[in-house]
Structure 1
Amino acid sequence: MTRSHTPDMVRLGLDEVHDLTRDTLRAAGLGAAHAAAIARSITRAQADECHSHGLYRLLGYVDSVRSGKAEREALPVLARATPVVLRVDAKRGFAPLAIEAGVPALIEAAKTYGIAALAIHDCYHFSALWADIEPAIEAGLAAWCFTVGQCCVAPAGGTAPLMGTNPIAFGWPGPQDRPFIFDFATSAAARGEVELKRRAGEALPAGWAVGPDGAPTTDPAAALAGALLPFGGHKGSALSMMVELIAGPLIGDLTSRQAKAVENGDAGPPLGGELFIAIDPAVFGGATLAQRMSDAQELFALARAQPGVRLPSERRYAARARSAGGVLIPAGLLQEIRTLTSPHAAAERTEGG
């Protein structure tokens, strides 16, 4: 049962988040398999308090369904270029279902041969990468994931968008279902974080973006009209370009600039590809696997022993534990989602872009 928590926030159970997402997408016309996969993806993000990839993303998904950009019913197809190089053709559908089709095969191949790669092609990706690789990490593999994002990031020293937010994720298996996982954009912040700042009427931290005139800005609207900046100057810029290459030309998919050229202007995700790499630590010799895993845990323990140190995945697991009792959603966002299924609201969103 939904109940008010504060005048501005509403608490929903995770089952309510899932059902709201699924039912909203189905009402918009999305096929059942895609709606269910996206509901699982959004619910995981909301449970981990990853607000930029939680229910907020539902607005963009619905826009892309209604605009006709994303395929509503086409099912992804898994193929093997070699026993360890896998490919999923998403057929211009949303990524979550394609990922669910490919990652189990990636795990099986890596467990069998020691290493495997999976390319997702022609998908609309809007989810958090940590959730994409978490099943592989929970299976005892080390894994990486890369995808291009919306073309809104200028290279270091520049002022015009050329690259995407281009996130990178890495995970290492750990005990007690607490693997080490990080997932971050190579821009100073994910575009979704900037959108949330704009919606909340909050200023951006200095160094996140430049406006259309190329001057530094803390105004989210100006940043979205201008360009975000890479984190860490030339280092983040180089990593972003690496992601462009390995999630674009390497696997035969689009760069973020090419994806922007075929966009239709809705608020949904860009077209592109995604690359996974998974390695089974058991295949390497030297010390026993148990010793090597123990060495890794020692590294984590020594880091935690230093005051003020928090490993990247710890905030997420703490949030996941809190979310068992429900999650807080901005009341305005919830109302916006609940009106998506009305014909009047659908027309307004279409007319307003």
Structure 2
Amino acid sequence: MKLTFQQIVDLASSGLQAAGIDAKSAYETAQFLALAEADGLASHGLARVAQYAGHAKSGRIALKASPRVQMFKSAAALVDARDGLAFPALRFATDLSVNLAANFGIGIVAVTNSHHFGVAGHYTEAAARAGYISLLFGNTPAAMPMAGGSKAIFGTNPLAAAFPVLNSNPLVIDMSLSAVARGKLLLAAKKGEAIPAGWALTADGKPTTDPQAGLQGLMVPLGGDKGALLALVIELLVVGLSGSQFSYEADSFFNAKGNRPRLGQLLITIDPGLSGKGIFQSRMNNFLAQVAQDRAVRLPGQRRFNLRAAAFLVGTEVPDALLEEIQAGIQQSWKI
């Protein structure tokens, strides 16, 4: 069935509120889930409603948490998500980092006691649309081994970067450091589909095309050992600057029951005027002109912007089974 953006927001918000999450957090989270659906990133859209609802019902998130600043240090701040859903905290942290960058040239905001934060590029995109360079790093529950290892020690640890482009969409680079985002396994499992070889390993380290076995096992690092080492860099940066839990201390997001993950994120927002007035945009325009000479090149982020524009016009197709899952959860208040 095709739904409008607002219908997706309302459905997701109702689903989250049915699990006891306060209306403000539910609505802000629903906006990001709807944006993921519009961008063609269904693994981070409505498919997450049941997951978050399960966490709410089993006490893995605080139902009425409101983010607050825990510490300031000139151009840096620490935001406490207070065990709530991550989306309100990351939205608050993004705005704060932009304000710091406007005043100091750079804004660094760490988020602690956080949860799954969805599409990393949505936050960096917002900062780039305000005219700033933006970087975001986060750690996630352990799913990948250290280089040479066979035990999950850190998460898929996503990163995103966005660069403003004058009078156009920003360039948005958004990736996890596993071969694919773990949410793609969740989506495949919900659809009863196999996954390609090379995405995941079983718990005993064997290649698998079964998404459920992959969710219970290990993700393959992007680019082998190099991806694993980049994930380590993010792990140490995020945990060191936020004081959050390490990936191996957080129970899987894919289980309703478990501990409060208390993971972290790190935002770095930069005023591009450091090199002089207009220089950044001038150099960016030169780069884009050079890239445009190769017609095969697709600029990062452009596919999602095209899909978003179409979704706002004609709606987004949502699987009937997913709609039924959320509607049943609302009717039954997500009984577990």
Residue 311 of structure 1 aligns to a residue whose secondary structure is coil
Question: How high is the TM-score relative to the length of structure 2?
Answer: 0.94
After TM superposition, give the deviation of residue 298 of structure 1 in Å. Answer: 2.3
CA distance in 2, matches of 1:267, 1:188: 27
After TM superposition, give the deviation of residue 47 of structure 1 in Å. Answer: 1.4
Tell me which residue corresponds to 1:226.
217
CA distance in 2, matches of 1:211, 1:18: 35
Contact 2:162–2:173, Cα closer than 8 Å, also in 1: yes
CA distance in 1, matches of 2:215, 2:63: 28
CA distance in 1, matches of 2:170, 2:257: 33
Runs of 4+ residues deviating >6 angstroms:
none
Which of 135, 138, 141 is the equivalent residue of 2:129? 138
Residue type of the alignment partner of 2:111: I
CA distance in 2, matches of 1:259, 1:333: 27
How do residues 220-299 of structure 1 correspond to structure 2 at under 5 angstroms?
220-260=211-251, 265-266=255-256, 270-285=261-276, 289-299=277-287
After TM superposition, give the deviation of residue 264 of structure 1 in Å. Answer: 10
Residue type of the alignment partner of 1:340: G
Matched, 1:16 2:7: yes
CA separation of 1:169/1:178 partners in 2, compared to 1, >3 Å: closer, same or farther? same
After TM superposition, give the deviation of residue 69 of structure 1 in Å. Answer: 1.5
Aligned-residue identity in percent: 34
CA distance in 2, matches of 1:322, 1:270: 36
Tell me which residue corresponds to 1:342.
331
Q: Which consecutive residues of structure 2, in runs of 5 or more, have no partner in the other structure?
A: none
How do residues 1-353 of structure 1 correspond to structure 2 at under 5 angstroms?
10-260=1-251, 265-266=255-256, 270-285=261-276, 289-324=277-312, 325-343=314-332, 346-347=334-335, 350=336
Question: How high is the TM-score relative to the length of structure 1?
Answer: 0.89
CA distance in 2, matches of 1:284, 1:182: 22
RMSD, aligned CA: 2.0
Residue type of the alignment partner of 2:182: R
CA distance in 2, matches of 1:158, 1:210: 13
Contact 1:18–1:39, Cα closer than 8 Å, also in 2: yes
Contact 1:155–1:229, Cα closer than 8 Å, also in 2: no
Residue type of the alignment partner of 1:291: I
Give CA-to-partner distance per residue, 1:86-106, whole Å, 9 cap, x none: 121111111111122222221
Tell me which residue corresponds to 1:5.
none
Q: Which consecutive residues of structure 1, in runs of 5 or more, have no partner in the other structure?
A: 1-9
Contact 1:160–1:226, Cα closer than 8 Å, also in 2: no
Contact 1:248–1:255, Cα closer than 8 Å, also in 2: yes
Contact 1:304–1:310, Cα closer than 8 Å, also in 2: no
CA distance in 1, matches of 2:241, 2:67: 20
CA separation of 1:336/1:153 partners in 2, compared to 1, >3 Å: closer, same or farther? same
Residue type of the alignment partner of 2:279: Q
Count of residue pairs the alignment pairs up: 334
CA distance in 2, matches of 1:254, 1:304: 43
Contact 1:125–1:271, Cα closer than 8 Å, also in 2: no
Most deviating of 292-301 and 127-136: 292-301
Residue type of the alignment partner of 1:222: A
After TM superposition, give the deviation of residue 79 of structure 1 in Å. Answer: 4.2
CA separation of 1:116/1:333 partners in 2, compared to 1, >3 Å: closer, same or farther? same
Give CA-to-partner distance per residue, 1:19-48, whole Å, 9 cap, x none: 111112122211111111101111111111
After TM superposition, give the deviation of residue 190 of structure 1 in Å. Answer: 0.9
Residue type of the alignment partner of 1:149: T
After TM superposition, give the deviation of residue 284 of structure 1 in Å. Answer: 2.7
CA separation of 1:55/1:267 partners in 2, compared to 1, >3 Å: closer, same or farther? farther
